[in-house]
Amino acid sequence: MSVLASAQYHEPSLVFLVGTKTVLTDVDGVAQHLLGDPACALGLAPVGDEKRLDDLLAGQGKKASRVAEIDGINYSSGDKLSLGLYRVAN
């Protein structure tokens, strides 16, 4: 079963939508989560942090693959938000 780790996007509704095993963390935590289960783990992180995520994974000989991009607005702050859904590339 895939488990999601989310950096920066920590809305409580995320846990209700994708499951109670969801990990709320930072980009470093998303990288560790992806490395811990490269076959099944998923990571959600701001697209602007993609290079950092790639750099963290490259240190372990891996690369992130963005499988989806979700654009929206943080309704609390009104800020635009662009999140990438990542997995370890094969």
Q: What is the pLDDT of residues 47-76, one digit of tens each?
A: 999 999 999 999 999 999 999 999 998 777
Beta strands in the chain (DSSP E): 4-7, 23-25, 42-46, 64-73, 80-88
Identify the pLDDT of residue 12.
Answer: 84
Domains in the chain (CATH in brackets) are 4-88 (3.40.190)
Identify the pLDDT of residue 22.
Answer: 95
Instruction: Write the DSSP symbol of residue 34.
Output: H
* Token pair 């990571």: residue: 43
User: Averaged over 11-40, what is the pLDDT?
Assistant: 94
Mean of the per-residue pLDDT values of the chain:
93
User: Averaged over 22-44, what is the pLDDT?
Assistant: 96
